[in-house]
Chain A
């Protein structure tokens, strides 16, 4: 099952765990939380002059699916432009159609984190 393996892999070997300096002007940080599971997710992006996300990292405390989601999302945004990342939708990763359901907040949490990071970056740029 391609789907399970990929997600499991991101859970057992999460990529991009870490943090960037939040004072850095090229870094946008997003912090979101879902109280039901006690998930709290910090997602950071490093954007270059051309508006492309060079690097991304995350630190998530919470349930397994939250950790896997954040790992997947940081992989996904790398190399994308701000505009592309903003319109993130949980689509491309999966090929199978018979998928298990997801927890309601899990389907939104990672997205919200990216969007929060992007708006933080934009705000910094304005100031």
Chain B
């Protein structure tokens, strides 16, 4: 059973998040382990597996990237995050320079203007990647999606790193 059927959602990449939430809660009210505390050990084991599946499914569908990777998988394209590698291409060069900008920012004590600038650049890239992914999914051009997923992974990472570094800096000055 795939996660879309589990949560009673149409098998499309774009989902109704509110409906996902509602159906998630409905499933929890039905299959949560606390409801089966008096049942046999074998029943409890089955329920535990089901409950884990519900939580995993929810996590997968709720998050854009995870949903994208999952959707690809459903369409026959197994993307293992761990083995994706990129080499010497333009994307990496531009991405690397973003990190260099972050280094500069650190040296300049997170100058407000530059910080906002960098944040916006990264956010724009993320939005762009997401829009592209949605588009390619609509056109069922799955191979193209794989490349953009790599890029999105990178941008989400640098967004996190920027946030962390900024917080560390704020803590230090307080």
Contact = CB atoms under 8 A, between A and B. Distances in A.
Interface of A: 30-38, 40, 42, 61, 103-105, 108-109, 112, 116, 120
- The winner among B88, B150, B160 for most chain A CB atoms within 10 A is B88
A32 B85 CA distance: 7
A105 B85 CA distance: 8
Interface of A is mostly: mixed
Contacts of A105: 82-85
Contact of B157 (A31, A38, A120): A38
Contacts of A112: 85, 87
A33 B82 contact: no
B87 A31 contact: yes
B3 to A, nearest CB: 21
A40 B95 contact: yes
Interface of B is mostly: helix
A35 B150 contact: yes
B93 interface: yes
A36 B99 contact: no
A108 to B, nearest CB: 7
Nearest to A36: B81
A104 B83 contact: yes
Contacts of A38: 153-154, 156-158, 160-161
Nearest to B150: A35
Interface residues of B, number: 23
Given A35-B81, A61-B96, A103-B82, A40 B154 contact: yes
Contact of B86 (A35, A42, A108): A35
B88 A32 contact: yes
Given A38-B158, A38-B161, A61-B96, A32 B82 contact: no
B92 A32 contact: yes
Given A38-B154, A38-B158, A61-B99, A33 B86 contact: yes
Given A33-B95, A40-B96, A103-B82, A116 B157 contact: no
Contacts of A61: 96, 99, 161
Contacts of B157: 35, 37-38
Nearest to A106: B82
Contacts of B86: 32-35
